[in-house]
Structure 1
Amino acid sequence: MKMQWLILLALIFAVIIAAFAVVNVDAVPVNYIFGETEWPLILVILASALLGFLLSGVVAIARGYSLQRKVKALQKEMAVKESLIATQQNEIAEYQKAGVVPDAQVVTGEEKAADERQETSGEDSRKTL
């Protein structure tokens, strides 16, 4: 339904531009960087509308391509994480079959950093001995 409204609005916009261009048929001077010519205003209006359409289309295609690449990268990342979850679930199932009950532990970022510092300081003290 949204696409139908967009098409309808685009057609209305095109009709308005065409009507505006047909009314303005006088020759006007067009200044280029390297010269000046006279063109009918209808051609200037239609060329400007066409260039605006093409420019916005190129930007939309580039954005779509960028988003598509991002989606593919996120899908790959999601597949890797899903396989990691499946592996961990299999390990949990094996532990449960073996009757191993782990102690409940909650590791926060601070505790993890403290554990890593203790391991590092323990290695440093062994190196000095």
Structure 2
Amino acid sequence: MKVQASIIVAFIFALLIALFAVVNVEAVPVDYVWGQSNVPLILVIIGSALFGGLAVGLFGIVRQYRLTRRIKTLEKQMAGLQSIEGDPVTIEAMKAESSDAVNGQDRYNERLP
């Protein structure tokens, strides 16, 4: 549901940017490092929105990649600790246990001697 809401908000935001860009079609001077040119304002607005979206997307991809690497590292560490202790608990069992704890069904105390 969260993904659907973010897609709807992004669509509305893109629609507002498009409407704003269509209203502003006159040519404006744009200064570059090497010169100046007249460009329609609609291209400046849409280009800026696209560049901003790509920048945010790139940062999101880098963050997701780092988090995935961190998860794999922690899973390897956990597997190493399990092999030292001889505990046969699998990652799937730990995920199920954590989801039970989130749901209010903490079964950790039942396993204690």
Q: TM-score, normalised to structure 2's length?
A: 0.75
The CA deviation string for residues 27-62 of structure 1, in whole angstroms up to 9 with x for no partner, is 000000110000000000000000000011111101
Which residue pairs with 2:57 in the alignment?
57
Unpaired runs of 5+ in structure 2?
Answer: 88-113
Identity %: 52
Structure 2 counterpart of 1:42, which letter?
A: I
Structure 1 counterpart of 2:64, which letter?
A: G
Unpaired runs of 5+ in structure 1?
Answer: 88-129
* 1:28 has 2:50 as partner: no
Which residue pairs with 2:99 in the alignment?
none
CA distance in 1, matches of 2:6, 2:77: 34
Which residue pairs with 1:39 in the alignment?
39
CA distance in 1, matches of 2:3, 2:84: 40
CA distance in 2, matches of 1:73, 1:83: 16
Q: Tell me the secondary structure at the aligned position of residue 28 of structure 1.
A: strand
Which residue pairs with 2:110 in the alignment?
none
Q: Tell me the secondary structure at the aligned position of residue 58 of structure 2.
A: helix
CA distance in 2, matches of 1:66, 1:72: 10
Matches within 5 A, 1:1-129: 1-86=1-86
Give the aligned length.
87
Q: TM-score, normalised to structure 1's length?
A: 0.66
The CA deviation string for residues 81-124 of structure 1, in whole angstroms up to 9 with x for no partner, is 1111217xxxxxxxxxxxxxxxxxxxxxxxxxxxxxxxxxxxxx
